[in-house]
Chain A
Amino acid sequence: DAKTTQPPSMDCAEGRAANLPCNHSTISGNEYVYWYRQIHSQGPQYIIHGLKNNETNEMASLIITEDRKSSTLILPHATLRDTAVYYCIVSPHHSGNTPLVFGKGTRLSVIA
């Protein structure tokens, strides 16, 4: 079973920030938070990951609460092409075999 809880769907107006929450209350000390997205049956795409500090890259920002029990992925200026299912995953960073456990994710619809 996935170790994360995400809302099933969200809407966001084009050009606005999309804030996607994720609860991971049972996260352990060596587990990172990863975000992927899947655009309509295409292969999943890695977005960003973090351990405890906030992270930012060219795609998104990741805000992790101080107790690490939840996080938020932020797409600062959502476009129609950001419409996708977004998956939050927790996993150790350097384990052996690492099957990514994708839960149901959040279906983000960006609306013009």
Chain B
Amino acid sequence: EAQVTQNPRYLITVTGKKLTVTCSQNMNHEYMSWYRQDPGLGLRQIYYSMNVEVTDKGDVPEGYKVSRKEKRNFPLILESPSPNQTSLYFCASTRQGAKNIQYFGAGTRLSVL
């Protein structure tokens, strides 16, 4: 089954404790992206990757890092989480040539205390 898998689905952590949210897709998609969703603000793009070893900032990249060492994986790293990063996070992927038809993961709900 074609899917984008995020882990963990729920995470509660404390300020400053490094964490990684994993994202994996099995559709051989070149393009992957991370969004965060906050009440009243909609979905905002954090980082994106056009292909392996090619990443760039989205609209709200501060406090986040990403890497794209393999085509299927696109982890989101919070080196020193802060309470303002409490949010619902989504990973998405799509193939080149159809970038607006994106497949989203189920989401990761993160709480930073």
**Which residues of A line the B interface, CB within 8 A?**
2, 32, 34, 41-46, 49, 89, 91, 93-104
**Which residues of B line the A interface, CB within 8 A?**
4, 31, 33, 35, 42-45, 48, 50, 56, 58-59, 88, 90, 92, 94, 97-107, 109
**Could you tell me if A99 and B100 are in contact, using CB atoms closer than 8 angstroms?**
no
A-B contact count (CB 8 A): 63
**Could you tell me if B42 and A103 are in contact, using CB atoms closer than 8 angstroms?**
yes
**Could you tell me if B4 and A98 are in contact, using CB atoms closer than 8 angstroms?**
no
A/B interface sample: 12 pairs, CB < 8 A: A43-B105, A46-B102, A46-B103, A49-B100, A94-B98, A95-B99, A96-B50, A97-B99, A99-B35, A99-B45, A100-B43, A103-B42
The listed residue (B42, B90, B98, B100) touching A43 by CB distance below 8 A is B90
Q: Nearest Cβ in chain B — how far from A48, in angstroms?
A: 10
Task: Please give me the residue from chain A that is nearest to B96 by CB atom.
Answer: A94
A104 to B88, CA, bound (A): 16
**Could you tell me if B42 and A97 are in contact, using CB atoms closer than 8 angstroms?**
no
Task: Please give me the residue from chain A that is nearest to B49 by CB atom.
Answer: A97
The listed residue (B31, B99, B100) touching A89 by CB distance below 8 A is B100
A42 to B100, CA, bound (A): 18
**Could you tell me if A32 and B100 are in contact, using CB atoms closer than 8 angstroms?**
yes
